[in-house]
Amino acid sequence: MYTGNTMLWKPPPTSTLTSIAVQNICAKVLERNGYNPAVCSFVSGGADIGKLIASDKRVPLVSFTGSTAVGREVGVEVQRRFGKSILELGGNNALIVAPDYTDTDSVIKSVVFAAFGTQGQRCTTLRRLMLPGTIYDEILERMKNGAAKLLTKIGDPLDAQTLYGPMHNQAGVDLYVRTVEKIKEAGGKIECGGKVMDRPGFFVEPTIVTGLPHDHELVQEEAFCPIVYLLKYDTLEQAMEWNNEVEQGLSSAIFTNDIKTQYWFTGPNGSDCGIANINAPTNGAEIGGAFGGNKSTGWGREAGSDSWKQYMRRATSCVNYSGKVELAQGIKFDV
């Protein structure tokens, strides 16, 4: 579909070389289809460039992907000039295992991938795992075993055999270290992990935490690293309250075979997230659907069949072929 839009995009300054490669691909595609490659233009820089984009009236729409804190500033700046913003911000995502669900193999495969795949550096990463008491101990031990197996397949993320790679940069490692220290100070228990690996590169251990209450400030925050909090709930209603109590509302999941529970989870009294998965982890299953969240996640949507409409101006037209003027609501206005 041709919409006539042009695009100026700015990646984070830590991925400039990858972004140049992507820009070259886009330019070739545009040229081969008869378009000026400047239709899609790339600019490199840091926060100073981002601020200029947000405040420039010549940019009618700003789509921002990043942290809730920075997104809040972007949204305010764009709104200040009555521009339009699409915000895809953080997610403090939860997965609930219902008491009726007994396929623990599927649970383990899902939660280990969701919590530790891409080293927790994904907005849909699993941060909070809510379990009934009947399977809590079993899931905890099997997750610890799964994390240990990941450590036997660490290395270069370009290697197809690698399951667990490095953090993006030193800042990610520093965040991990600070978070682990705060967990210990708060009385949380590090069930496994909690250390920076003694090897070249930005490698940290997958980490499972127990012992912190659901409403602790650390559990309420999103740490963009491989740390997951395990919580034991009494009732599904309680678990749903915990799912919805964080400020973000990106992705959520429940594992259940009860169709009434499924409809409850996806209905108006269930998950308040933009993505609600059934028997699938918080990350990955949303491909092809409208991607985005609610609350402090920003309310924006990317992908999906109609997301392109967000990038368009809407106009309402009235065309009169009758040969006479009909006023609104049939008003008689003779002059």
Are 87 and 299 spatial neighbours (Cβ–Cβ below 8 Å)? yes
pLDDT at 24: 97
**List of domains in the chain:** 7-89+291-311 (3.40.605.10), 93-278 (3.40.309.10)
Q: Which tokens sit at 98?
A: 């219902």
pLDDT for position 1: 55
pLDDT at 302: 86
Please list the residues that pair with 277 across neighbouring strands: 253
pLDDT for 332 equals 83
pLDDT at position 285 is 59
Give which of 210, 246, 251, 216 is closest to 229, Cα–Cα: 210
Give the per-residue pLDDT at 56: 97
The model's pTM: 0.93
Check if 77 is active-site. Answer: no
pLDDT along the chain (335 residues), means of 10: 84 93 96 95 94 96 94 96 95 98 97 96 96 98 97 92 96 98 98 97 97 98 97 98 97 98 97 96 79 93 84 89 86 82
CA atoms of 52 and 57, how far apart (whole Å): 10
Question: What does the pLDDT read at residue 190?
Answer: 98
Contacts of 195 by beta carbon, 8 Å cutoff, 6+ apart = 180, 204, 205
Choosing from 31, 73, 77, 88, the catalytic residue is 88
Give the model's pLDDT for residue 79: 97
Q: How many Cβ atoms are within 10 Å of 20's Cβ, its own excluded?
A: 12
Question: d(Cα 93, Cα 77) in Å, to the nearest integer?
Answer: 27
- Residue 286 has a pLDDT of 62
